[in-house]
A and B are shown apart, each in its own frame.
Chain A
């Protein structure tokens, strides 16, 4: 039996004591699974408009999304004709068309080529600032987490090891395990000069 509660702002999704368990359809979470899960039998346009109720008035919002994610000209392509980065942007656009309260991203950069990872990382951060939608991002890459997070929660074997702002965690790792994790990456806390 799962215990505890999950809420976003004032909205309760799940509460084991009040026996509330909101069906996924009403949670208003934008969900981005690891492989993006685009519907393979639908075009980019159909994917993005999938969650939209009435197809008519969506035209303007659809255009905004296509522009925001630089998907112009790809509207009639099928997912198998897209690159990894394009797939991700379609998945984001599809989730955002529903105006979710929160975005849940499961290892969004795992399936992207290392060479473009940093670029997409920056884009994600900018997007978050632009839209102001809270994002929960799951990653195994601590450097990615440190770069993206406003608040970082480190889990190990299903338990919270440490939580806080990235800087705080870097400066005061709570235990050996966290410092070990931090030790695997290079962090520049001071400005680096090169000549």
Chain B
């Protein structure tokens, strides 16, 4: 029971932290991709989206190349602080962040793009800056889509397995999330436990996806 509670706690903590990051960066990215035109936009779009289609192990591998003790960012970080993302909950957060970011960006971007261009033009003609227009017109009208993106990102973060296993490992009480505990229980031959954990995770996910559907219905049209 204790290990179940700790796995649940780690799962919720990791998914919540990564969702906060995803909401922040994802919204900014979605806005830039939806409303700005610049060179290399398609490349950014592709880079953000690719973790959605790559096998999680491949994402995990790239994260190691980037954040591992000999990684591009990881090596100087380790030399400077003696700390690395490997086998930490922060590593799990990064893994969840990378795999759920594309969901948020896709959903939020299409919500932002669906805001009538004329409303934005009128807002400009009424003296409002791009930022004011974003806050007072785009954000409230795209809100349900943005919320749906956040909720989906949470669900994806909660279910993350492959990349998390590679970068954060599966350390009970520290990085062993619900999805990782299911794997451990199954490996140890404890099918009953694996089944129970699977049901809990399914329950949470169904609720979250239901919430996303409820949120994505617009009120104004």
Contact = CB atoms under 8 A, between A and B. Distances in A.
Interface of A: 23-27, 29-31, 33-35, 37, 39-41, 50-51, 53, 78, 80, 94-95, 98
Contacts of B220: 40-41, 78, 80
Looking at A30, A35, A40, A53, the one whose CB has the most chain B CB atoms below 10 A away is A40
Contacts of B116: 35, 37
A33 B129 CA distance: 19
Contact of B127 (A33, A35, A98): A98
24 contacts: A23-B124, A24-B125, A25-B127, A26-B127, A27-B125, A31-B122, A33-B121, A35-B116, A35-B118, A37-B122, A39-B119, A39-B137, A41-B141, A41-B219, A41-B220, A50-B126, A50-B128, A50-B136, A51-B128, A53-B127, A78-B220, A94-B122, A95-B126, A98-B126
Interface string B189-221: 000000000000000000000000000000111
A25 B124 contact: yes
B125 A31 contact: yes
Nearest to A104: B125
Contacts of A31: 121-122, 125
A56 B134 CA distance: 24
A39 B121 CA distance: 12
B125 A30 contact: yes
B146 to A, nearest CB: 14
Nearest to A46: B136
A80 B128 CA distance: 24
A94 B129 CA distance: 17
Interface of B: 116, 118-119, 121-129, 136-137, 140-141, 219-221
Contacts, number: 54
B2 to A, nearest CB: 48
A23 B132 CA distance: 15
Given A50-B123, A50-B128, 12 more contacts: A23-B124, A25-B129, A26-B127, A27-B125, A31-B121, A40-B141, A51-B127, A51-B128, A53-B127, A94-B126, A95-B125, A95-B126
Nearest to B122: A37
A117 B32 CA distance: 41
A50 B124 CA distance: 11
Contacts of B128: 25, 50-51
A33 B127 CA distance: 16
A41 B121 CA distance: 16
Nearest to A37: B118
Looking at B125, B137, B141, B221, the one whose CB has the most chain A CB atoms below 10 A away is B125
A92 to B, nearest CB: 12
A49 to B, nearest CB: 10
Looking at A27, A33, A37, A78, the one whose CB has the most chain B CB atoms below 10 A away is A37
Q: Which 10 A-B residue pairings sit nearest by Cβ, starting from the closest?
A: A51-B126, A37-B118, A24-B124, A40-B220, A31-B125, A33-B118, A37-B122, A41-B140, A37-B119, A25-B127
A83 B137 CA distance: 22
Nearest to B120: A37
A152 B65 CA distance: 68
Given A40-B221, A50-B126, A51-B126, A24 B140 contact: no
A26 B126 CA distance: 9
B17 to A, nearest CB: 31
B19 to A, nearest CB: 25
B145 to A, nearest CB: 14
